[in-house]
A and B are shown apart, each in its own frame.
Chain A
């Protein structure tokens, strides 16, 4: 029997139980604690499910991937350049509004996303009910309710991961539309971005970052394509500015 290895990344806001889920899945005891910034660099662990081997990567907890703090850059670069087979976005079911900000950002970067509603037990205690099916329909990716602490919903999550890496789940992530002004700029920019970096990266997302003047991403791409003339990469930035 052949065994494949897949990479699964865990992203989420601080204090949503990412590390607890990481420990449940990998059987490791990454230190979990009730304070933000605990996972400063990412932790790795392994597990096997249905004859496949998985590398689990626990990313630092962040509210966003855009503010350019060291934590956010680690998380962002892993999702873009590490190309995990599946990215699980762990959401705190008791604070969905706050948590969906990050989920939408990740959905702009990759379509292989599973949204994991953690702390469902807490939510129930607070009288919060969430229609996971409706949420999945709106986001265009699977949504799995769990309670990592009580080890509830873990099997459903594993089955979803398995189905996703086997290509049995087709996702259609929601596309955030911006103002007409920004959309027009992107229309011009996306073909140029594709020319430079090819189809291996999410062109719409990269175009958005360029319009935002995200220099750190530009530098990361330049390191990745040393064969391309620096000028080519910067030409993209130039056209972003001229637009």
Chain B
């Protein structure tokens, strides 16, 4: 696999898949919360839909839909997997 520069989850577009690499969050409670919701390194999620104002955005995470605000998705890093390489 070619090395890819890590991107923020907030940069991923609707319909894209995203493989989480790391959560860069100092606040332990918030990090724990995101991990509990399924935003776990190694996990692949799908960007479902942005709300009309662009924030929050709904994600498909291990069989459940979860919406995050940009302030959270900004700190989740990983690899964007565009639809055309399937």
Contact = CB atoms under 8 A, between A and B. Distances in A.
Interface of A: 63-64, 66-68, 92, 94-95, 97-98, 101, 212-213
B63 A101 contact: no
Interface in B61-79: 61-64
Given A94-B63, A98-B63, A98-B64, A67 B29 contact: yes
| Interface SS majority for chain B | helix
A98 B32 contact: no
Interface in B27-78: 28-29, 32-33, 36-38, 61-64
B15 to A, nearest CB: 22
A92 B38 CA distance: 15
Nearest to A92: B63
Interface of B: 28-29, 32-33, 36-38, 61-64
Nearest to A97: B62
A93 to B, nearest CB: 11
Contacts of A97: 62-63
Given A95-B63, A213-B28, 7 more contacts: A63-B36, A63-B38, A64-B33, A92-B63, A94-B63, A98-B38, A98-B61
12 contacts: A63-B36, A64-B33, A66-B32, A67-B32, A67-B36, A92-B63, A95-B62, A95-B63, A97-B62, A98-B61, A98-B62, A98-B64
A94 B61 CA distance: 13
Nearest to A36: B64
A179 B36 CA distance: 19
B64 A95 contact: yes
B26 to A, nearest CB: 13
B79 to A, nearest CB: 20
Contacts of B32: 64, 66-67
A233 to B, nearest CB: 22
A109 to B, nearest CB: 15
A102 to B, nearest CB: 8
B60 to A, nearest CB: 11
A92 B37 CA distance: 15
Contacts of A66: 32, 36
A92 B29 CA distance: 25
Q: Which 5 A-B pairs have the closest CB atoms?
A: A64-B36, A95-B63, A67-B33, A98-B62, A63-B36
